[in-house]
A and B are shown apart, each in its own frame.
Chain A
Amino acid sequence: GQQVMQIPQYQHVQEGEDFTTYCNSSTTLSNIQWYKQRPGGHPVFLIQLVKSGEVKKQKRLTFQFGEAKKNSSLHITATRTTDVGTYFCAGRETSGSRLTFGEGTQLTVNP
């Protein structure tokens, strides 16, 4: 079955440093979504990417969808303590199929 892998599992950074998490699928994806889960909270939707090679920005966050639609990345510029949490990618093989989540990257930001 479809597998979605995320690296790294953990990332510790100093406030102000950049952060990147990578997501790789064993199969071609129809679309990919990104979620953020704060400690003790629930996952919150950040963004969805649909097109091959798509790049979207949300302030300090940049999301990319690979040309082959099998990988994606989330890059945070100049991290802040408010960025702390676990970032999950989630992909669908086809539109309407189940959403498969990666294992997540837990980000810690030291002030």
Chain B
Amino acid sequence: KAGVTQTPRYLIKTRGQQVTLSCSPISGHRSVSWYQQTPGQGLQFLFEYFSETQRNKGNFPGRFSGRQFSNSRSEMNVSTLELGDSALYLCASSFGPGTGDSPLHFGNGTRLTVT
């Protein structure tokens, strides 16, 4: 069974630009969560999608948005990039609600560098 796939693996952007990151969950998983990881900040929750609906949202500005498609694939978008957005963005999939809080399966992440 293929794992969670995130593309691209690395991305370099300049301030003010926008970026779209992609995540393909494990087959059969309908829930996708996004996390931002920076040194010393741990894993900061961005949002969670289930069946194309946003279920939970973290405390990030509106520049961060996401969506989920009918095939459970998800994208997140960051507009008007700032230097502080440089981080590893991790996507995680799980079976989703009603399944006993199943564990998260993480992808390898997208390393975003903003210059």
Query: Interface of A with B (CB < 8 Å)?
Result: 1, 30-31, 33, 35, 41-45, 48, 88, 90, 92, 95-104
- Say how far A96's CB is from chain B's closest CB, in angstroms: 5
- Which of the four size classes fits the interface of chain B? 20 to 34
Give the residues in chain A near B106, CB-CB below 8 Å. 42-44
Cα(A1)–Cα(B45), bound, Å: 13
The interface stretch among B19-27, B72-80, B96-104 is B96-104
Contact status A45-B56, CB under 8 Å: no
Distance between Cα atoms of A43 and B106 in the complex (Å) = 6
Residue contact A42 to B109, C-beta cutoff 8 Å = yes
Is B104 within 8 A of A48, CB to CB? Answer: no
Bound complex: CA A95 to CA B41 (Å): 25
Selected A-B contacts with CB under 8 Å, 17 pairs: A31-B101, A33-B103, A41-B108, A42-B90, A42-B108, A43-B90, A43-B92, A44-B106, A45-B103, A48-B103, A88-B42, A95-B100, A98-B56, A100-B45, A101-B45, A102-B42, A104-B43
Q: Is B67 an interface residue (CB 8 A)?
A: no
- CB-CB nearest 3 A-B residue pairs: A45-B103, A98-B56, A103-B42
Nearest chain B CB to A92 CB, angstrom units: 6
Does the CB pair A45–B105 fall under 8 Å?
yes
Q: Are A96 and B101 in contact (CB under 8 A)?
A: yes
Asked if B28 is an interface residue, CB under 8 A from chain A, the answer is: no
> What's the nearest-Cβ distance from chain B to residue A109, in Å?
20
Interfacial chain B residues near A1, Cβ < 8 Å = 59
**B45 touching A96 by the CB < 8 A rule?**
no
Q: Does B33 contact A (CB under 8 A)?
A: yes
